[in-house]
Amino acid sequence: MKILILGVNGFIGHHLTQRILDETDWSVFGMDLSDDRLGKNLQNPRFHFIEGDIAINREWIEYHIKKCDVVLPLVAIATPKLYVEDPISVYNLDFEMNLNVIKQCVKYHKRVAFPSTSEVYGACPDPEFKEDESTLVVGPIRKERWIYSCCKQLLDRVIYAYGTRGHLEFTLFRPFNWIGPRLDSLYAAKEGSSRVVTQFIAELFMKRPITLVDGGSQKRCFTYVDDGIGALLRILANEGDVCKNQIINIGNPENECSVRELADLLKKLFINHPDHRADETYSEIIEVPAQTYYGEGYQDIYARKPNIEKARLLLGWSPKVGLEDSLRMTLYSFLEENEP
Ligand code: UDP
């Protein structure tokens, strides 16, 4: 099988590429702006990388959509700080650019595995979010955080409509707070624009305060990337066509914790790390109002828990890695990469 991955150097893209090359006989054709996370895979004869931009290298993309069996358009801005700071770029990249790719998948009759997001459920009050039942709830327009959720939701609806009319074979997958090595860079964290786990790890590393937005009682379910990629591989294999035109949550409901618990746990793991046991000081944990941290356009999501019955049933998959192990592996890998 030939897989096209746009955004192959991203968090999901580079982990997926590694696993495809290690565990299957498939070939990967990948494009990204840079290749710093791809390491030794760049030398693998089944991996074909080109440095490029989906807004510019359109001919390469069209040619490879024609040539490949499955398309994974993973290029997107997916960090809440940027939804608020630069909503137009979120719209251009996450919606318009990806819509072009989807239209070409329709044109050339190619299967697409598209990253929807747990963010589409927004402020849904359900205790567990279900793909085919839960209501998708967003805030007013002046709360610009929701642009990402809306862009993804509309794409989900466009893809679904093409699918139900027989013009496209798709699987929409919804990652719930995947974490792991190389989630975000230290550089992004210095800017304060990385996702919460990397942000907290980087603060510990830089001895800066850990900031709990609005007190940190909001909850997330953190999913270790190896588990998530395991589900994705099964979606790509699509044995017996089980994933055809399905929407599938990929998350770990067992790993639910509040942002405050997350901060405490990461601080404990950091203090117990062999290189940091004897540090003279450690980051304090402080509270910051959301408006100060993110600005006026932000609104939080207080709970986000996946129902994963569909993934269990269709893919025979369930997540294995617990919260503390997931955080330890993410922390240790960050320290290994950034320690002088
Ligand atoms: N958050 C926080 N401190 C930070 C960064 C994030 O308390 O330094 C909170 C944020 O308000 C949100 C949660 O952590 O409730 C998860 O944020 P993340 O950026 O990982 O993305 P989300 O899960 O909201 O998509």
The CATH code of the domain that includes 56 is 3.40.50.720
| 300 C-beta closer than 6 A to ligand 1 | yes
Using CA positions, which residue lies closest to atom 10 of ligand 1?
213
Rounded distance, CA 229 to CA 250, Å?
9
CB of 118 within 6 A of ligand 1: the answer is: no
* Ligand 1 centre distance from Cα of residue 247 (Å): 25
Q: Are 251 and 130 in contact (CB under 8 A)?
A: no
Burial annotation 50-86 (CB, 10 A radius, 16+ → b, else e): eebebeebeeebeebbeebebbbbbbbbbbbbbbbbb
Q: List, in sequence order, every residue forming a beta bridge with 249; answer none if it has no partner.
A: 174
Q: Can you tell me whether residue 25 is helix, strand or coil?
A: coil
Residue 46 lies in a domain: yes
Q: Ligand 1: does its nearest atom lie under 6 Å from the Cβ of 307? A: no
DSSP assignment of 26-62 equals -EEEEEES--TTTGGGGG-TTEEEEE--TTT-HHHHH
Question: Tens of pLDDT along 70-122?
Answer: 999 999 999 999 999 999 999 999 999 999 999 999 999 999 999 999 999 99
Average pLDDT over the chain, rounded to whole? Answer: 97
pLDDT of residue 64: 98
Q: Which domain holds residue 111?
A: 2-179+224-251+304-320
In a domain, residue 130? The reply is yes
Q: Has this prediction a pTM greater than 0.95?
A: yes
Question: Residue 238: inside a domain, yes or no?
Answer: yes
Query: Which pLDDT score, from 0 to 100, does residue 323 have?
Result: 98
Cα end-to-end distance, the chain, whole Å: 41
Residue 153 forms part of a structural domain: yes
Reduce the DSSP state of residue 213 to 3 states and report it.
Answer: strand
Position 274 in a domain: no
Q: What is the DSSP letter of 150?
A: H
152 close to ligand 1 (CB < 6 Angstrom): no
- Total count of domains within the chain: 1
DSSP count for the chain of H helices, then E strands: 13, 13
In a domain, 81, yes or no: yes
pLDDT at 305: 98
* Interval 43-51 mean pLDDT: 98
187 within a domain of the structure (yes/no): no
Q: Which of 213, 219, 257, 326 to mutate to test the pocket of ligand 1 (most atoms within 8 A of CB)?
A: 213
CA distance 285 to 295: 20
Give residue 157's pLDDT: 98
pLDDT digits (tens, 9 = 90+) for 114-160: 999 999 999 999 999 999 999 999 999 999 999 999 999 999 999 99
pLDDT of amino acid 279? 96
Give the pLDDT score at 191.
86
Cβ 177 under 6 angstroms from ligand 1: yes
Cβ–ligand 1 contact at 195 (below 6 Å): yes
Rounded to 10 deg, the angle between the 323-338 and 196-206 helix axes is: 50
C-alpha of residue 196 to centroid of ligand 1, in Å: 5
Which pLDDT value is given to residue 340? 75
> Stretch 273-288: mean pLDDT, rounded?
97
268 within some domain:
no
Mean pLDDT confidence for 224-248: 97
Phi and psi at residue 9, in whole multiples of 5°?
Answer: -90, 0
Mean of pLDDT values over 32-39: 97
Residue 106, token pair as written in the block: 């329709």
Q: Which amino acid is at 154?
A: L
